Amino acid sequence: MSRIRWYQAGFRPFVVGFSPLSFVRPIAGQRRRQLLFWKMLFSAKAILFDMDGVLMDSTPSVERVWRAWATAHGLDPDSIAAQAHGRRSIETIRAVAPELDAEKENVAVEQMEIDDKEGVTALPGAARLLAHLPNDRFAIVTSATRPLAVARLAYAGIPVPQHTITAEDVSHGKPSPEPFLKGAALLGFAPADCLVFEDTPAGISSARAAGMHAVALRTTYPVDQLQAAHAIIRNLADVKAKLREQLLIVEVDSIPL
């Protein structure tokens, strides 16, 4: 079962479950400044990564596509773009335009997303972290289809991993726990032994419903919408992981919740 330990940077660890007290320390050139992060240690047997907003920045592409699709159908582009992150595209279509043929529209949206590669780049720390993990200890669990996932990974310069769960592999997408439960099963580990990295409220809800610890990245949503996560970080550059006695020891620089 995964475990968490909290540290105040430069201080002794304290018991999980107590609210950490904020404190200040001198910063060169300033009188005082509040600490910007906590050191947190997670132990797990496997890691499950969302893709968009975690491994790569695809937000410009996602919003261009969904705004164009919404405009073409006489829908509110701002509202549609805000709902599209972290969900399977077919579920977004069903939610916002139930009168349309969702299967047909989904094919069109998928191709638009595959064709729109401008600005799709790897996020800081993503390639480094994946390169340091054993192939059998991590998987991508994404709401994208497999062709879209392969395309975006290529655009970002990230190798396609050995294990992936994509939109076609599940009947119910995030926030259902099904995607992460299937990711754990694919790797052969119990859900409680998996640590999840996510960037959306829907993804965090999915991980929590699956019985997993979740670390949120503030790459897509503001911090106040990520409070259900066990920790919040800037990006994967704030993460270090080592395999030690069959456990992954994962250190993160977490923003105080």
Q: Read off the pLDDT of residues 78-100 as tens digits, 9 standing for 90 and up.
A: 899 888 777 788 888 999 999 99
What per-residue confidence (pLDDT) applies to 31?
41
What per-residue confidence (pLDDT) applies to 54?
98
What per-residue confidence (pLDDT) applies to 256?
77
Query: Model pTM greater than 0.95?
Result: no
What per-residue confidence (pLDDT) applies to 91?
86
What per-residue confidence (pLDDT) applies to 36?
60
Q: Give residue-wise pLDDT tens across range 114-154.
A: 998 998 999 999 999 999 999 999 999 999 999 999 999 99
Catalytic residues: 50, 52
What per-residue confidence (pLDDT) applies to 23?
29
Q: Which residues, given as ranges, of the chain have pLDDT below 70? A: 1-36, 257
What per-residue confidence (pLDDT) applies to 4?
53
Order of strands across the sheet with 239-244?
Answer: 3-7, 38-44, 247-254, 239-244
Q: Where are the alpha helices (DSSP H) in 77-200?
A: 77-84, 89-96, 102-115, 126-131, 146-156, 178-187
Burial profile 65-75: b = 16 or more Cβ within 10 angstroms, e = fewer: bbbbbbeeeeb
First to last CA, the chain: 23
